[in-house]
Amino acid sequence: MNADNNTALDEQQRARIKSAVNTVMKDHPFFAAALSGMPIILDRRYPTACTDGFVIRCNPDFTATLNDYELVGLLIHEVCHPLFGHLVRFLSAMKAGNGGLVNRATDYE
């Protein structure tokens, strides 16, 4: 995909993510406070989405494959990692190079 196409897709996905955030704020108040404190960054270095507990990073090529309900679910999913303590409880395993395993295990949880 060329730069012009990426720019257009990125803008489209920013708008969709903003709408999904608004849906979380309106319909899912338990997650709203946590999500409101986490900036969402478009980042193609990651295949899907991830969080470090401070920001959520989403690959716009991936979010473009999701419908609106799935996008809301993705944001809630990512905010659950810090809410459920995954980033603290598994810090030593992640530092030891087992981040992929930790991610799969906490996703399964």
pLDDT of 1 reads 58
pLDDT of 20 reads 98
- 85 phi and psi, to 5 degrees? 75, 15
Distance of CA 7 to the CA centre of its chain: 20
pLDDT of 68 reads 98
pLDDT of 60 reads 98
pLDDT of 109 reads 65
Q: What amino acid is encoded at 80 in this protein?
A: C
- 56 phi and psi, to 5 degrees? -110, 130
pLDDT of 104 reads 73
User: CA–CA separation, 14 vs 105, rounded Å?
Assistant: 29
pLDDT digit string (tens) for the chain, length 109 residues: 567 789 999 999 999 999 999 999 999 999 999 999 999 999 999 999 998 889 999 999 999 999 999 999 999 999 998 998 877 776 777 678 776 777 677 766 6
pTM equals 0.85
